[in-house]
Structure 1
Amino acid sequence: MIRIKPLFLSIILLLATGCSDKKEEKSLPVKKIQACPDPKEQNISEQNCSENNGSNLTKISTMLESATILKSIKDETHGVMLDRDRFIVNDVKQPIVLVNFFSTWCPPCRGQLPYFEDLQKKYRKDLFIAGILVNDDVNATQLEQFYKKYHMEYFVSNDIENEYVSAKVAEALKLDANFTLPLTVLYKNGDYYTHYEGVVPVEMIDHDIRMALDHK
């Protein structure tokens, strides 16, 4: 478990009323917990309201304990909060997040990567793709060349925290620690939607993205 950074502690206080060792601290957007409404107006008890707020705070605290910051090969950073079947990326407006765990030495991974660029272009307003490099000791120069060769025009993290994120996601999906690569997971509004172990036809992923967008 990683250590909670001071910025995450400050967020809690607000809610209550190959790799780089240093991570750029960036505040994570959070939704304020609404104060309890007047029980007379809402026809609810003060006890129920207190219990609901306590439950929300516990859930948020759990997510912040599992929060980290990922850095891309282009020095772009995103805060990520994880909690079981939730994966929330900082500053992302698109409702669908596709997380792809890959390695440069993995032939199936390399065969699938170019299709993600097509999906990113097709669903630019609705889809955010995050490539997470795992189990790989490729250096920054080699990764930059790999990035260009496979047209990975989306967020690709080579941060030291990638292994931590992959372990948390594998645990949530009940997968072995040495899960099959590539592993691709779809989230909608932060909630788990579906995942694919190994290579699957891009048409299947495309279909599931459309289904997720159509499902209210």
Structure 2
Amino acid sequence: MISIKPLLLSVILLFVTGCNDKKEKEMVPTEQIEACTGPKEQNISEQNCSENNNSNLTKISTMSESTTILKSIKDETHGVMVDKNRFIINDVKQPVVLVNFFSTWCPPCRGQIPYFEDLQKKYKKELFVTGILVNDDANATKLEQFYTKYHMDYFVSSDIENNYVTKKVIKALKLDANFTLPLTVLYKNGNYYTHYEGPVPVEMIDHDIRTAIKEK
């Protein structure tokens, strides 16, 4: 009996270790759960979300950087990748991107909008301006009238995916869900540069754009 006990103890330890390993393999990272339960993104298949137990870090990285298609009422589309402090518009060559989150019912937003068109014309080769409509239920007709009245001759997304993109951006900026409008964010080569909460003088934005352009 004395010679059998060490063998029995080894078997028990082997069994316990095997259970712990299995438990660790079945744990699903939080990021994977969030990616599967959040809004759908372009290039994420249903199969990816159903294979949680077989997921790995490479798949999580791919999912977080997937392209979301934004669409305007003029049927213009742009694919964007939003990941932490990055905002990349796939088919845009300008190094500096200005993203303005606004609503048609917001007086400060309306007052600031015309200046964005001027900035895009001024820095045509270096700056791309895009508007993201949020918290707004205006129909297509009212939106078109609004865009014409305030000379929004730049890409303005009125797509349902705006909600998803907005949540990603405010999370990266560590802002409250009820953030102040307008919210304007500058990105340089896809990376966060600076942002402004509420209305700010156009001279300040102009200065930051020029500084971003000059920086290597």
TM-score by length of 1: 0.74
For 1:193 and 1:125, the matched residues in 2 are separated by 18
Runs of 4+ in 1 over 4 A off after TM superposition: 54-61
Task: Give 3-state SS (helix, strand or coil) of 1:178's partner.
Answer: coil
Paired letter, 2:166 = S
Partner residue, 1:63: 65
Q: Which runs of 5+ in 2 are unaligned?
A: 1-37, 46-55
Matches of 2:215 and 2:158, distance apart in 1: 33
- Corresponding residue of 1:80: 80
Cα offset for 1:8? 5.5
Label 1:76 to 1:109 Cα distance change in 2 as closer, same or farther (>3 A). Answer: same
Letter in 2 for 1:181: L
Give the equivalent residue in structure 2 for 1:119.
Answer: 119
Does the C-alpha gap of structure 1 residues 56 and 213 become closer, same or farther in structure 2, counting only changes over 3 Å? farther
The match for 1:3 is 40
Higher helix share: 2
- Measured in 2, the distance between the counterparts of 1:55 and 1:124 equals 39
CA contact (8 A) 2:44 2:63 kept: no
SS of residue paired to 1:70:
strand
Alignment deviations for residues 34-56 of structure 1 (CA, whole Å, 9 cap, x no partner):
xxxxxxxxxxxxxxxxxxxx998
Map of 1:1-216 to 2, 5 A cutoff? 1-5=38-42, 7=43, 59-64=61-66, 67-216=67-216
Shift in Å at residue 62 of structure 1?
2.4
| Structure number, greater radius of gyration | 2
Alignment check: 8 A CA contact 2:84 2:169 kept: yes
Distance in 2 separating the partners of 1:118 and 1:177: 30
Identity of aligned residues (%): 73
- CA 1:140/1:91 → structure 2, altered by over 3 Å: closer, same or farther? same
Aligned twin of 2:9: none
The TM-score, its normalising length taken from structure 2, stands at 0.74
2:153 maps to a residue whose letter is: E
CA distance in 2, matches of 1:147, 1:202: 19
